[in-house]
A and B are shown apart, each in its own frame.
Chain A
Amino acid sequence: RKEVEQDPGPFNVPEGATVAFNCTYSNSASQSFFWYRQDCRKEPKLLMSVYSSGNEDGRFTAQLNRASQYISLLIRDSKLSDSATYLCVVNYRNDYKLSFGAGTTVTVRA
């Protein structure tokens, strides 16, 4: 079983729609959680950290559920520019390795 698993996608949504997807992690010793955004053939860039209480950054909302070992990302009022691959990243307390999911591809259409 992979350490970090994501909804495979792709998610094809119209502009203005809401899209949400999850990421599950296998190691309960996980310490920190992040969502990164990656455009085609570019490097990953930090979208937001995920805090225990959940957090919001504009149209983006991230939630953490430690009991069920998953995090989620919700995008409201989708824009064409939100089209990208969203990578879930988990950092483990024991070895501080950053483990990535395979990514969820979102395509927002006009």
Chain B
Amino acid sequence: EAEVAQSPRYKITEKSQAVAFWCDPISGHATLYWYRQILGQGPELLVQFQDESVVDDSQLPKDRFSAERLKGVDSTLKIQPAELGDSAMYLCASSGSQGFTEAFFGQGTRLTVV
């Protein structure tokens, strides 16, 4: 069964350091999402790509977060500098098309900023 791959699974970093997460969506999926989930809350959308284009990044803290999907396949989410409040689960999901099909999630990267 095709899966969304994410790495690393766990990351501990000191505040003010840079950190990066990687996601490889299911092959052929044009839509890719990055979500952040704080314990006890639902996932919050950070950025949405359609192929290599950003469709929605309105909730992405652009002073410290950046995301790219250069060839419309895999994607990287970066935080620089990390802050204590960034500790959360970062989830990547992909979907075969916008709007009408479900999204499939990777296992996530659990970030702890100390």
Chain A residues with a Cβ under 8 A of chain B = 4, 31-32, 34, 41-46, 49, 87, 91, 93, 95-103
Residues on A with C-beta less than 8 A from B33 are 98
Contact with A along B81-107 (1 / 0, CB 8 A): 000000001010101001111111111
Nearest Cβ in chain A — how far from B3, in angstroms? 10
CA gap between A42 and B89 in the complex, in Å: 9
Q: How far is the CB of A31 from chain B (nearest CB, A)?
A: 6
User: CB-CB contacts of B61-93 with A at 8 A, as 1s and 0s?
Assistant: 000000000000000000000000000010101
Instruction: State the CA gap A4–B101 with chains docked (Å).
Output: 18
| Contact flag A32-B42 (CB < 8 Å), given A43-B91, A43-B106, A96-B31 | no
Number of interface residues of B (CB under 8 A): 28
**A42: chain B residues within 8 A (beta carbon):** 107-108
Assess whether B56 is in contact with A100, with CB atoms less than 8 Å apart: no
Of A4, A31, A97, the residue contacting B56 (CB under 8 A) is A97
Q: Is the CB of A99 within 8 A of B45?
A: yes
B56 and A43 form a contact (CB under 8 A): no
- B45 x A97 contact (CB < 8 A): yes
Which of B31, B45, B55, B102 has the most chain A CB atoms inside 10 A of its CB?
B102
Q: Is the Cβ of A95 less than 8 Å from the Cβ of B41?
A: no
Residues in B neighbouring A93, C-beta threshold 8 A: 99
* B43 is an interface residue with CB less than 8 A from chain A: yes
Contacts of A87 in B (CB 8 A): 42-43
A98 touches B103 (CB 8 A): yes
* CB contact under 8 A between A34 and B31, given known A44-B91, A100-B43: no
- Give the CA-CA distance A43 to B35 in the complex, in Å: 11
Residues in chain A near residue B110, CB distance under 8 A: 41
A43-B107 CB under 8 A given contacts A96-B98, A96-B99, A100-B42:
yes
Given the complex, which residues of A lie within 8 Å of B106, measured CB to CB? 43
